[in-house]
Amino acid sequence: MPGSWCPPAPAPSWSAAAPPPRADFVIRGVPFGRTGIGLRAPHVAALAARLDGGGPLPAFVEIHAENHMPGGAADDRLLDRIAEALPLSVHGVALSLGSAGGVDEAHLARFAGLVRRLRPALVSDHLAWSAGGGHYWNDLLPLPRSREALDVVAANVARVQDRIGRPLLVENPSAYLDFEGAAMGEGEFLAALVARTGCGLLLDLNNIVVSAANLDLDPERMLAAMPLAAAGEIHVAGHAVVPLDDGGHLLIDDHGSAVGPAVLALLSRVRALRPDLPVLLERDRDLPSLDELLAEAASIDGAFETERRRHACG
């Protein structure tokens, strides 16, 4: 009837395809299923100023670890205060978990020191490599999904987890090419890694959309293959569409625009099964104001709540 109100729908029961989340990946301190923001240097001072009641705050924030290690680009005078006031996720981009030579000891020591100092709710890095033979490339490079590569990544993840004293969330990467004769799909590889090491999954939905478009795969099937029970966090972001000479296009995971419909559609599917998961809105290019970023995060949560109420009232 007009003017009636329906309470939020209860979380759905778990199906065989989506078992309950592992207890060690339930974030304590992060509001149930809320959307936070990636905290970049231009917003640090503005966010710190709001801690005394100067405006809306994000549900949680995520930082790039390498920006805040000794010698990093960021000024950390305000970060400790933010970390005390808000739930925090630390996201690495250079552990190089796929390096056959192992994780660099000096880098791992700095990474572990940052984790000890900030005591974040979650810690993560990527299924990729960026270092080898004494060289470092400022990129997340793909690795073959072979049994040998699984052995390498599992050993590196185990070493990182031993050092930081907690599970590491491993993010599915964006892909622009693939290796011939892969022994397993991406979801199967990550599920095997979870089983071998006890690590968790950082489920990047924009990366699924980008990889599916570039490799001519089905994003729904890619999502279904992921070990969702081991997920501890979701990433969403925008991507660029680059036209190619042959009339096709390439999707680039540039985090330079608002989250698009394809990513939001996948998010809706995941949230129906794992409404508890925190969602992180990433933005690294064409950075909007803090208020605009918070408004987009609120819009993502608002759409989810509207959908839950619609199902409850249906």
Instruction: For residue 91, report the phi and psi dihedrals to the nearest 5 degrees.
Output: -115, 115
Task: Name the domain count of the chain.
Answer: 1
Q: Is the pTM of this model over 0.85?
A: yes
Whether 127 is covered by a domain: the verdict is yes
Instruction: Give the pLDDT score at 12.
Output: 34
Alpha-carbon 300 to chain mean position: 16
Handedness of CA 281, 283, 284, 289 (dihedral sign): negative
Whether 15 is covered by a domain: the verdict is no
Task: Please name the residue that has the structure tokens 């990474």.
Answer: 111
Instruction: Give the pLDDT score at 260.
Output: 97
Listed in sequence order, the residues at least 6 apart from 21 whose beta carbon sits closer than 8 Å to its beta carbon are: 229, 230, 231, 232, 274, 276, 277
Half-sphere exposure in the Cβ direction for 42 (13 Å, CA): 10
Residue type, 258: A
Domain boundaries, position 88? 25-313
Instruction: Give the pLDDT score at 226.
Output: 98
Per-residue pLDDT of the chain (314 residues; tens, 9 = 90+): 333 333 333 333 333 344 455 444 445 567 778 999 999 999 999 999 999 887 899 999 999 999 998 766 556 788 999 999 999 999 999 999 998 999 999 999 999 999 999 999 999 999 996 656 665 646 666 788 999 999 999 999 999 999 999 999 999 999 988 888 788 999 999 999 999 999 999 999 999 999 999 999 999 999 999 999 999 999 999 999 999 998 889 999 999 999 999 999 999 999 999 999 999 999 999 999 999 999 999 999 998 888 777 766 76
CA distance 53 to 50: 5
Instruction: Give the pLDDT score at 64.
Output: 95
CATH number of the structural domain spanning residue 48:
3.20.20.150
Residue type, 21: P
Whether 16 is covered by a domain: the verdict is no
Q: Is the CB of residue 300 less than 8 Å from the CB of residue 264?
A: yes
User: Comparing C-alpha atoms, which of 69, 76, 86, 160 is closest to residue 120?
Assistant: 86
CA distance 86 to 69: 19
Whether 191 is covered by a domain: the verdict is yes
